[in-house]
Structure 1
């Protein structure tokens, strides 16, 4: 009964638009008071949830992405992507997807992609005569590649909560991220042929080479991160520190686009974002502890496996549960609550935890593209001055290829596990 009350209070507070971190904390506090446990337990468990070395990667990846945006480095990335794939039908749509692949290797967050590259991409597509619906839709969908291709803030949180190697999760996201990009490019090609969108530019090896040289050093950021982790040169947390130092070096020394005022501004934004994320992680840890202490995970597993032990059906049921949660809950909070519940189920039917991590994160990314949460849509609505409802309708066609990729990855786990097995398990 107290667990039922816990969820009633949580969803009641969310309905009243109380911030998710506060809602998790207050619902957990209510449970602690009702069950007669000491209130200090709330503070103790919250701090323990945030006291994790891998979580140190979060502020550094956020800082690196902020420096890239503030220092104008994203424009170099966009220019290189434009020269590389702008020759295809609907060229700027393909550029949009290509730039997201590159930026994904720097920021690790969909909202950072939408807020940073998104404004540049939509403005360029407007000037070239593309419809706002198409521009916003492809920008929103391509931003979800960020949390799949390493580095990825959601994968860091998943790795911490599930006690899974973050290095394995990172390399596992590379092929799925590229499949997402391929599916979106096919969608762009189909729309472009249907609506008669032009090629953005003619292909020129000389132009590609010029833009590559201009973007070469920024392009080394994902190489440093992924290469360092894959070779064991440093941990994901150390990789985040290296990425921040490299971004700072580029902005201050090489391109000289960052001054003290901009660095301070990015630092303040990083502190605010990190504080909000860690507060969610901390309060969600209390919530997850309450669920574990009351054997909610075991009961959920027992109930789910009582319906069927067929791995395929269990996977479909997991996808449905994650999708529903992702529609109403912020990604980090959803991960923190879902992981303790889903891990026992996955273990019993033989689902690899790395495979589970990728499909859970990709599934939750769909929640960023759909109301009522839809954080990416809110960001794009603000930077593009397109009404939120129009952003929703514009994005829906581009959700279809992402769902197809999610189903492919779900039922062909070898796609996800190929690189982890090659690099870590031999």
Structure 2
């Protein structure tokens, strides 16, 4: 049954059927052809898949990110990051990475990060002589940090799908996020030295003190949101609501750059984005339920243990598999379908489920910047007004950096777990 459902799903993907529809049709076929359940069970399981309190955080974090984009918060974060690192050769490129890291600590979405930060920094990079394709490639790759550094929508999905603590997953994302951010920053600095780009990056930037004062309310936002979670004051869902309220207050009353007339567009865009994700969660949840009914996760765990034999080989095999999956299947669907299958096998190998969750999220996030379906890739190409084919001249180097970081994260669990163990153990 599982093989047939998978073949149907992949066939529908090849025909350009939307991800959620393809997964749902494959699941319905499995119910009709391979079980005795009435078809109404599909509606019931779709409801069950969505009837989970932590999932309510997703639309609120998306809305918070969109409010930041139009409320002047993202522009102030760019100014602060530029004041910190913009004075060196290649500093504006490093500013792109640093701003994405800070924005990621509020939004939870890589696409939102691409548009919010890219709309400001990509034109600035081009004005200072960076090629448009390089600027787009850098923005697409740096925006991946939006799903690694907490709060992270994919980590919420992994936590729900595998019954893993979401606050522990969030705090485990800091180490990998900082590692990837540092590696990308070092890469662009060396690149700028070799090419001569970025010699005028320090022109027109504010001093550190004025920039910090200007960005104070923007910088306070992740402190309030994440501090509430790790201080045990709020759940991630409650923190997401606080993020929305904070973004509204700052945008409307403090910065006064968020016009009431713009709210309809922000709400509309947030609803559309959230609906797409929730549709995928619903049908992927149905698909995953069918696999569980057929004991596919248990059988896969037994097969993986017998095939790989050691944790090191298992992680290598899973990373290769997830890298290919991420190129063709949307991240949310991959996590909900594959998380319950692969996580039990990881536990049998003695791998901490929180560590495995960070490995899975970082790996699948690579799919956002790899052809043919990388959503960050196309978003950044739109912002940079360039073609994906031109970006491919620069993109492989950035992907290689993240792959190298992924290998380090996979085989050095302390990178993911040292903060978790310090706070929760």
Quickly name the TM-score band, shorter chain normalised: over 0.9
Aligned residue in 1 for 2:214: 214
Deviation at 1:203, TM superposition (A): 9.6
Question: 2 CA distance for matches of 1:160 and 1:39?
Answer: 25
Deviation at 1:211, TM superposition (A): 0.7
User: 1:145-224 to 2 correspondence within 5 Å?
Assistant: 145-202=145-202, 207-224=207-224
The answer to whether the Cα contact below 8 Å between 2:176 and 2:409 also exists between their aligned partners in 1 is yes
Question: 2 CA distance for matches of 1:330 and 1:405?
Answer: 22
Deviation at 1:308, TM superposition (A): 2.7
Aligned residue in 2 for 1:403: 403
1:184/1:14 Cα in 2 relative to 1: closer, same or farther (>3 Å)?
same
TM-score by length of 2: 0.97
The answer to whether the Cα contact below 8 Å between 2:83 and 2:206 also exists between their aligned partners in 1 is no
Deviation at 1:400, TM superposition (A): 1.3
* Unaligned residue ranges in structure 2 (runs of 5+): none
Deviation at 1:260, TM superposition (A): 2.1
Question: 1 CA distance for matches of 2:118 and 2:248?
Answer: 22
Aligned residue in 2 for 1:307: 307
Aligned residue in 2 for 1:101: 101
Q: Which moved more, 1:411-420 or 1:266-275?
A: 266-275
Question: 1 CA distance for matches of 2:235 and 2:204?
Answer: 39
1:327/1:205 Cα in 2 relative to 1: closer, same or farther (>3 Å)?
closer
| Partner-residue secondary structure (3-state), 1:7 | helix
The alignment's C-alpha RMSD in Å is 1.5
Aligned residue in 2 for 1:70: 70
Aligned residue in 2 for 1:18: 17
Aligned residue in 2 for 1:296: 296
* Unaligned residue ranges in structure 1 (runs of 5+): none
Deviation at 1:200, TM superposition (A): 4.0
Deviation at 1:261, TM superposition (A): 2.0
Question: 2 CA distance for matches of 1:5 and 1:148?
Answer: 33
Q: Within the alignment, does 1:40 sit opposite 2:2 as a pair?
A: no
Deviation at 1:206, TM superposition (A): 7.4
Question: 2 CA distance for matches of 1:86 and 1:422?
Answer: 33
Deviation at 1:202, TM superposition (A): 4.6
Q: Within the alignment, does 1:321 sit opposite 2:313 as a pair?
A: no
Question: 2 CA distance for matches of 1:150 and 1:308?
Answer: 32
Q: Within the alignment, does 1:129 sit opposite 2:129 as a pair?
A: yes
The answer to whether the Cα contact below 8 Å between 2:135 and 2:384 also exists between their aligned partners in 1 is no
Deviations 1:320-357 (A, max 9, x none): 12112111100100100111110110111011011011
Q: Which moved more, 1:25-34 or 1:260-269?
A: 260-269
Question: 2 CA distance for matches of 1:344 and 1:175?
Answer: 24
Q: Which moved more, 1:294-303 or 1:182-191?
A: 294-303
| Partner-residue secondary structure (3-state), 1:146 | helix
TM-score by length of 1: 0.97
1:73/1:263 Cα in 2 relative to 1: closer, same or farther (>3 Å)?
same
Q: 4+ residue runs of structure 1 moved beyond 6 angstroms?
A: 203-206
Question: 1 CA distance for matches of 2:324 and 2:252?
Answer: 44
Q: Within the alignment, does 1:287 sit opposite 2:287 as a pair?
A: yes
| Partner-residue secondary structure (3-state), 2:386 | coil
The answer to whether the Cα contact below 8 Å between 1:92 and 1:200 also exists between their aligned partners in 2 is no
| Partner-residue secondary structure (3-state), 2:373 | coil
The answer to whether the Cα contact below 8 Å between 2:297 and 2:342 also exists between their aligned partners in 1 is yes
Question: 2 CA distance for matches of 1:123 and 1:202?
Answer: 16
Question: 2 CA distance for matches of 1:186 and 1:383?
Answer: 24
Q: Within the alignment, does 1:111 sit opposite 2:111 as a pair?
A: yes
Question: 2 CA distance for matches of 1:157 and 1:57?
Answer: 10
Deviation at 1:266, TM superposition (A): 0.9
Deviations 1:269-308 (A, max 9, x none): 1111111111111100111111111121122122221223
Question: 1 CA distance for matches of 2:404 and 2:258?
Answer: 41
Question: 2 CA distance for matches of 1:160 and 1:211?
Answer: 39
Question: 2 CA distance for matches of 1:328 and 1:177?
Answer: 24
The answer to whether the Cα contact below 8 Å between 1:83 and 1:211 also exists between their aligned partners in 2 is yes
The answer to whether the Cα contact below 8 Å between 1:83 and 1:203 also exists between their aligned partners in 2 is no
1:83/1:206 Cα in 2 relative to 1: closer, same or farther (>3 Å)?
closer
Aligned residue in 1 for 2:27: 28
| Partner-residue secondary structure (3-state), 1:198 | coil
Question: 1 CA distance for matches of 2:196 and 2:384?
Answer: 23
The answer to whether the Cα contact below 8 Å between 2:136 and 2:383 also exists between their aligned partners in 1 is no
The answer to whether the Cα contact below 8 Å between 1:133 and 1:394 also exists between their aligned partners in 2 is yes
Question: 2 CA distance for matches of 1:281 and 1:149?
Answer: 21
| Partner-residue secondary structure (3-state), 1:93 | helix
Question: 2 CA distance for matches of 1:316 and 1:370?
Answer: 19
Question: 2 CA distance for matches of 1:205 and 1:266?
Answer: 30
Q: Which moved more, 1:105-114 or 1:192-201?
A: 192-201
Deviations 1:54-106 (A, max 9, x none): 01111110011000001122111111111110112211111111111111111
Q: Which moved more, 1:184-193 or 1:204-213?
A: 204-213
1:313/1:424 Cα in 2 relative to 1: closer, same or farther (>3 Å)?
same
The aligned length equals: 424
The answer to whether the Cα contact below 8 Å between 2:83 and 2:211 also exists between their aligned partners in 1 is yes
1:199/1:224 Cα in 2 relative to 1: closer, same or farther (>3 Å)?
farther
The answer to whether the Cα contact below 8 Å between 1:155 and 1:170 also exists between their aligned partners in 2 is yes
